[in-house]
């Protein structure tokens, strides 16, 4: 369908070589006025695959919108073939209230492929799915962590699907997490419907962060290159690693946290993650890494109750030692092979030269870190 000369979306026909900004009507306000999702469609001069890039399906996750804005208004994108559908804000309801959810308090990203005569959210999901997922050959969804957390940029997808695997590795994040995604999520249902889709999880909600935008823009361009839609080869980090499992470090007691790691840091089993102090400042306990891994996500809220998640540790399918060796090869002086180093490579190289901080009192730690 998408290799045809004529491409129709939101009731409009877009010709080869044309770029158009459209509104896809997905619902109505109380006043009966239309509610539309803004869509940019860019077509290369030659036929080719259709790729969608969507952001802000959760109304408070804004980094993806920043990525799409940069693609629209940053360095000129020379689309040589195919069709690119850019959707900077999917959840036009949620962004108005800075909220993850829809007005009926449902999570839009659990209602795909939707139902024509279902609930408000189900109808919106149906229209988006029919117009975007079913008209595309490939998809990229851009997300951030949920409140109150942040994620080190990572790609997720069903790696059993060969096309998903191709996109996931081409995108160019260091960490690739295998999984189909929850029932009713856009990426799971789109992949099931024949449109292999990956997601980027990067940064925290309610922010547009430079690092997340850089990773996202590079990744989307990499996928466009992989699909032959723009010229050139993907720019990949020194290495990429599949994440075989992950684990959460949780608070044992209520208190105030002081963090010793940040997203993307490699951690060894027993390494300090956070110190928990009482409201009077007295140290209560130190949370430690239960295994070797890489900090995938963290809470951004420094207060916890027992059981609340503090730090999400990804366990790579290769040892930290082998990743450090790969990082050293890339950052080492005088090496011929110069591949662009990603953030994780820099973290791994740095952690090798740093000495592990010893255990001190909470007050000492505070002085050292301030």
Residue numbers at the binding site for Zn ion (CB under 5 A): 58, 61, 143
Would you call 369 exposed, middle or buried from its count of C-beta atoms within 10 A (0-12, 13-18, 19+)?
A: exposed
Smallest gap from residue 280 Cβ to Zn ion (A):
37
Question: What DSSP element (H or E) covers 354?
Answer: none
The answer to whether 155 and 175 have CB atoms below 8 angstroms apart is yes
**Cβ at position 58, least distance to Zn ion in Å:** 4
Nearer to Zn ion, 91 or 240 (CB): 91
Q: CB-wise, 25 or 110, nearer to Zn ion?
A: 110
Residue placing its CB nearer to Zn ion in the complex, 58 or 260 = 58
Cα four-point dihedral sign 365, 284, 204, 99: negative
- Closest distance of CB 178 from Zn ion, Å: 18
The CA R_g of the chain, rounded to the nearest whole Å, is 22
Least distance between Zn ion and beta carbon 297 (Å):
12
The pairing of strands 34-43 and 81-87 is antiparallel
125 burial (CB, 10 Å; 0-12 / 13-18 / 19+) is buried
Q: How far is the CB of 241 from Zn ion (least distance, A)?
A: 23
In order of 60, 106, 206, 290, the CA distances from 94 in angstroms are 7, 10, 12, 37
- For Zn ion, the closer of residues 61 and 189 by Cβ is 61
Cβ neighbours of 10 (radius 10 Å): 18
Q: DSSP string spanning 271-282?
A: -EEEEEE-TTS-
Least distance (Å) between residue 111 CB and Zn ion: 14
Question: Any bridge partners for residue 142, and if so which?
Answer: 55, 200
Q: Residue 90 or residue 277: which is nearer to Zn ion going by CB?
A: 90
Of 98 and 361, the one with the shorter C-beta distance to Zn ion is 98
In the complex, which residue's CB is closest to Zn ion? 143
**What distance in Å separates the CA atoms of residue 107 and residue 121, rounded to the nearest whole number?**
8
Kindly state the smallest distance separating residue 61's Cβ from Zn ion, in Å.
Answer: 5
Q: Which residue has the tokens 């770029």?
A: 19
- For the bound state, the minimum distance from the C-beta of residue 143 to Zn ion, rounded and expressed in Å, comes to 4
How far apart, in whole angstroms, are the C-alpha atoms of residue 145 and residue 199? 12
Query: Between 64 and 237, whose beta carbon lies closer to Zn ion?
Result: 64
CB closer to Zn ion, 128 vs 349? 128
SS3 93: helix
């Amino acid at each position: 369908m998408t290799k045809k000369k004529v491409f129709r979306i939101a009731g409009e026909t877009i010709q080869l070589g044309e770029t158009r900004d459209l509104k896809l009507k997905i619902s109505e306000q109380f006043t009966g006025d239309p509610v539309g999702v803004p869509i940019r469609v860019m077509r290369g001069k030659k036929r080719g695959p259709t790729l969608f890039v969507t952001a802000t399906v959760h109304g408070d996750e804004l980094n993806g919108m920043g990525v799409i804005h940069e693609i629209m208004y940053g360095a000129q994108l020379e689309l040589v073939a195919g069709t690119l559908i850019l959707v900077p804000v999917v959840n036009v309801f949620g962004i108005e209230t800075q909220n993850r959810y829809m007005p009926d308090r449902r999570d839009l990203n659990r209602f795909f492929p939707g139902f024509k005569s279902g609930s408000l959210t189900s109808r919106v999901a149906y229209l988006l799915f029919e117009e975007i997922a079913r008209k595309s050959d490939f998809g990229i969804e851009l997300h951030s962590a949920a409140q109150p957390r942040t994620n080190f940029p990572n790609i997720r997808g069903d790696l059993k699907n060969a096309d998903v695997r191709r996109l996931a590795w081409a995108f160019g994040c260091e960490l690739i997490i295998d999984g189909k995604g929850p029932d009713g999520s856009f990426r799971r249902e789109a992949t099931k419907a024949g449109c292999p889709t990956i997601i980027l999880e990067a940064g925290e909600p309610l922010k547009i962060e430079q690092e997340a935008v850089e990773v996202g823009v590079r990744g989307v361009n990499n996928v466009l290159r992989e699909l032959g839609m723009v010229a050139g080869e993907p720019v990949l980090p020194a290495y990429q690693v599949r994440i075989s499992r992950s684990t959460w470090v949780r608070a044992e007691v209520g208190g105030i946290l002081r963090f010793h790691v940040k997203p993307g840091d490699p951690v060894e089993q027993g390494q300090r993650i956070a110190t928990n102090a009482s409201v009077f400042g007295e140290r209560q306990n130190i949370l430690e890494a239960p295994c070797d891994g890489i900090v995938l996500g963290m809470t951004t809220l420094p207060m916890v109750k027992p059981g609340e998640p503090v730090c999400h540790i990804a366990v790579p399918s290769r040892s930290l030692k082998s990743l450090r060796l790969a990082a050293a090869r890339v950052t080492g002086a005088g090496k011929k092979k110069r591949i662009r180093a990603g953030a994780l490579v820099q973290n791994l190289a740095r952690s090798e030269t740093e000495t592990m901080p010893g255990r001190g009192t909470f007050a000492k730690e505070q002085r050292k870190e301030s």
